[in-house]
Structure 1
Amino acid sequence: MFCLIKCSRKKVLAAAAALLCLGGILTAVQQTKAVSGPAYEDLYPDMYVNTGNEFAQEEGKVVYYTFDDGPSQNTIAILDTLKEKGVKATFFVTGQEVSGVDSDAILKRIVDEGHSIGMHTYSHVYQQIYSSVENYLADFYKIRERIIQVTGVEPKIFRFPGGSVKNSFANPAVQKAIRIEMRRRGYLYYDWNLVSGDDKSYMTDTNTLIRNIVNGAQGKDKVVILCHDDPMRVSTAEAVGPVIDQLTEQGYRFEKLTESVEPIQFHNDDEA
């Protein structure tokens, strides 16, 4: 009888020890997950860049001419004018194909002629890319891979579709998580401080765009212009030459965005 009680007690103690051990393992796993962060951090392990921690000192009055939503035939016209004027600009490109246009050739020309190229979006479908961090990363990876395959250059800068501002298609918490994740991966996003007006309507006339940009630059030493070079923005391409001439006369120089340029950003998530 004594032996049975003693044996049973040993089994109970052994079982209890096993449960404690299992509990410890589960707790350790949970803690590891908490430390390692969200699962999407493990996606696309090659999608990291080193952009450094210091920005170059900017002197004088400088303009960064930026174009979103290309490439298209209007990108070609813009590149022709930039070449004629000896000016460099920045193109945040998409993966959309335009009928009758050799998109790959345009991407290569952007790089070959010394301009900056950055990611914008592959699909430009807000509802999809801003629905989750995972979906955003998937879209970003596609346009990144296309740029690398076509140009041989790995871009380190990008612009959010619609900017980093709140939009009706994204939960603010999701947008914030996307911003933090992209920064964790080393990428720099660039917003703007001057809107040309071509985002409101593709029918905005050339003179209005010129006036918007030239007047909007007044009082600013650093100007980042938001323009679009999709197939509908013919007037945007037509405005480039006059804008360069008029702002140059006012003492501005034109530069391209790179990771050494401190970005204008609508959000500061450092306190997050």
Structure 2
Amino acid sequence: MVGWRALVPIVAGLTSAVMVAGSGAVPAAHAEPQPAVSQPAVPEPAVSKLVVSQPAGLDQKVVYLTFDDGPSEYTTRVLDILRRHDVRATFFLIGANIRQHRALARRVFEQGHSLQNHSWSHPDMRGLSWPAFKRQVLDTDAEIRKQTGYTPQCLRPPYGAVDKRVRKRAAALDKRLRLWTVDPRDWARPGAKSIARWTLKQVEPGGIVLFHDGGGDRRQTVAALPKIIKTLKARGYVFHRLWCG
């Protein structure tokens, strides 16, 4: 995954929604309100970082904190902060990283967070053959299932790279696509203050925030997280997990 961030420009202001229908039961203990999304036609992206999924109409000030590309050495620090502030989040995990850090993936689950699918090795899934696409998703499902006992229903394609074929294939595997509405650019390491400032400026009720706990040096994300959580709580936000059920 080294170098992928250099290929990814920011697409600001996109608020179109993408949700691919899936099926399957969600553990009853994990039932939570999910962000309401519409299903307009979405053009194929010209760039790989497509910011989509704009929730609307929620009764509470809900925010979804999500973390991509783990597990890694920084996941432990993120977990400690989330536990200290009694916050639950969603971790979109890389299958190959789970294999290297199975105990850590198990800890994410045991602390009450949602583990979801972010592919096996972080490719642009638009260019994969159907057999390769299935391996990326199903092999990661298997690793998550070993640690949690459930099969994830959310899929976040790497780079937010989504087109008609990716949506169709995800649906065939009973996956719903979940991307984000707020990208504070933590992957570019702009500084902890910048990460916190951009997040707090952009979050709205129902927002899905993109952070990273893997894929590189994530010390800035770790440093920014306490202020973000404290400020959002002071603004009356509650923190929910994504399940896509």
The equivalent residue for 2:24 is: 50
2:195 to 206, 209, 233: 209
1:254 to 226, 231, 239: 239
Unaligned runs of 5+ in 2: 1-21, 27-32, 37-57
RMSD in angstroms over aligned alpha carbons? 2.3
Matched, 1:81 2:57: no
The equivalent residue for 1:148 is: 145
Whether contact under 8 Å (2:212, 2:218) holds in the other structure is yes
CA distance in 2, matches of 1:208, 1:97: 28
The equivalent residue for 2:159 is: 162
The equivalent residue for 1:190 is: 178
The equivalent residue for 1:22 is: none
Question: 1:153, CA displacement in angstroms?
Answer: 2.5
Per-residue CA shift, 1:171-204, capped at 9, x if unaligned? xxxx4122112223321110111001113x1x32
Q: TM-score, normalised by structure 2?
A: 0.73
The runs of at least 4 aligned residues of structure 1 exceeding 3 Å deviation read 55-58
Pick the structure with greater CA Rg.
Answer: 1
Whether contact under 8 Å (1:164, 1:191) holds in the other structure is no
The equivalent residue for 1:39 is: none
Question: Percent same amino acid among aligned pairs?
Answer: 28
- Report SS of the residue matched to 1:195: coil
- Which of the two has greater helix per residue? 1
Whether contact under 8 Å (1:194, 1:224) holds in the other structure is yes
CA distance in 1, matches of 2:218, 2:138: 27
**Compared CA separation, residues 242 and 153, structure 1 to 2 (3 A):** same
Query: Residue type of the partner of 1:79?
Result: L
Q: TM-score, normalised by structure 1?
A: 0.66
Question: 1:51, CA displacement in angstroms?
Answer: 5.3
Query: Residue type of the partner of 1:122?
Result: W
Total equivalences in the alignment: 195
